[in-house]
Amino acid sequence: MRKKRNLLPIICTLLIVAVMVYVSELAHEKEIIFPEIAAIATGALLSPTITWHTDKKRILILIMVCASLGMAIVFVVPGTLWLKFVIAYAVSQIILSLSGTGFAPMVSAIVLPVMLGTRTPLYLLSAFLFTTIILLVRTVFEKTSVCNRISYQPLERQPFVFIIKKIMVASVIIFIAIKTGFPYVVAPPVLVAFTEFADSKSAARSHPFKTVSLISLCALSGAFCRYTITSVAGLPLTLAAVLAMTISIILIYSFRMYLPPAGALTLLAMLIPRAALAIYPVSVFAGVSIFMLTSVWVFRSRAYSNK
């Protein structure tokens, strides 16, 4: 019975990913693929307890607010991609602090549409629908003792200086990455990872080599499955996504680290141009390594604590 319970979160995660990618293929709309679904599933289903300091209501609200703001930046803000990236990241950090949570995936929800230039409302619909499904599944799991119940404790607001330092560091690295033609160094889930690395007490930062290795291998699994299954074998993208997520879940359990950005980077490989697949894992490795080293150097004390 215990093994069946342990398999349920994995099965549900893979089913949700499969449905999302399959719908995107049927509709011929890649923007339906919302990589943070894999991150939310990793933190809310695969992990025995929700990874972030938050609750289910705030997860949905923050995802939708940030996804909407990300699309608004695409439509309204003029200027370069670098400027839009920085604005999106800065807004996400302000919202994160005001929210009283540690729900870092909101960063990707606002930055992803900026990176992709998303203009279709299907992005918002997909984010809402599949996030809701995950949270409903989590609720069922809690009631049936598959997962532990959530105990939400608000976090203190992050100090203004800490927020500014994060924005400044991210801005410099975003500028260099985009200007040198390596945008996936600052892929949205990598910026999520940086937000978590900046907390000196985070589990990810406590194990830097394992963290960088796991995230990079998950990105590699996404790129490899996408290339071999869709480009070489000519098979559906859904198959590539499910196989890649299966590999990533195995890696997550093997490393015993429930890192939401790792899952998101697996699925992001299903969205990027085919020509970028070869450089994608290397870019992600470079990005998380740079942000990890920078975080250790710049952010030496914890920015917030439970109230």
pLDDT at position 201 = 82
- pLDDT tens column, 26-63: 999 999 999 999 999 999 999 878 888 899 999 999 99
3-state helix, strand, coil in the chain (%, to 5): 75, 0, 25
Strands (E), 163-239: none
> Which string of b and e fits 154-189 if b means at least 16 CB within 10 Å?
ebeebeeebbeebbebbbebbbebbeeebbbbbbbb
- pLDDT tens column, 177-226: 999 999 999 999 999 999 989 988 888 998 999 999 999 999 999 999 99
Tell whether 306 is covered by a domain. Answer: no
**Position 303 confidence tier, pLDDT thresholds 50, 70, 90:** low
pLDDT at position 302 = 57
Alpha carbons 236 and 203: distance in angstroms, whole number:
36
CB-side neighbour CA atoms (13 Å) of 78:
0
Tell whether 307 is covered by a domain. Answer: no
**The CA-based dihedral angle spanning residues 151, 49, 14, 101, taken in that order and rounded to the nearest 10 degrees:** 50
Residue 164 · residue 262 · CB < 8 Å: no
Residue range of the domain that includes 127: 2-298
Give the count of domains, the chain.
1
Alpha carbons 305 and 247: distance in angstroms, whole number:
34
Mean pLDDT of the chain: 92
Tell whether 261 is covered by a domain. Answer: yes
Percent of the chain with pLDDT over 70: 96
* Sequence-separated contacts (24+) of 233-241 with Cβ below 8 Å: 236/22, 236/25, 237/21, 237/24, 237/25, 237/270, 238/18, 238/21, 238/22, 238/25, 240/270, 241/17, 241/18, 241/21, 241/33, 241/267, 241/270
Q: Is the pLDDT of residue 268 over 50?
A: yes
Tell whether 39 is covered by a domain. Answer: yes
Tell whether 305 is covered by a domain. Answer: no
Alpha carbons 60 and 200: distance in angstroms, whole number:
27
**Position 301 confidence tier, pLDDT thresholds 50, 70, 90:** low
pLDDT at position 305 = 47
Structure tokens at 1: 């019975």
Q: Is the pLDDT of residue 284 over 80?
A: yes
pLDDT at position 5 = 53
Residue 166 · residue 13 · CB < 8 Å: no
Q: Is the pLDDT of residue 166 over 60?
A: yes
In the beta sheet, which residues pair with residue 155? 306
Exposed, middle or buried, 72 (CB in 10 Å: 0-12/13-18/19+)?
Answer: middle
Tell whether 117 is covered by a domain. Answer: yes
pLDDT at position 249 = 97
User: Among the listed ranges 15-24, 87-96, 142-151, which one has the minimum average pLDDT value?
Assistant: 142-151
Exposed, middle or buried, 286 (CB in 10 Å: 0-12/13-18/19+)?
Answer: middle
User: Among the listed ranges 3-7, 51-55, 109-113, 125-129, which one has the minimum average pLDDT value?
Assistant: 3-7
Mapped to the 3 state alphabet, what secondary structure does 147-167 carry? CCCCCCCCECCCCHHHHHHHH
Q: Phi and psi of 155, rounded to 5°?
A: -95, 150
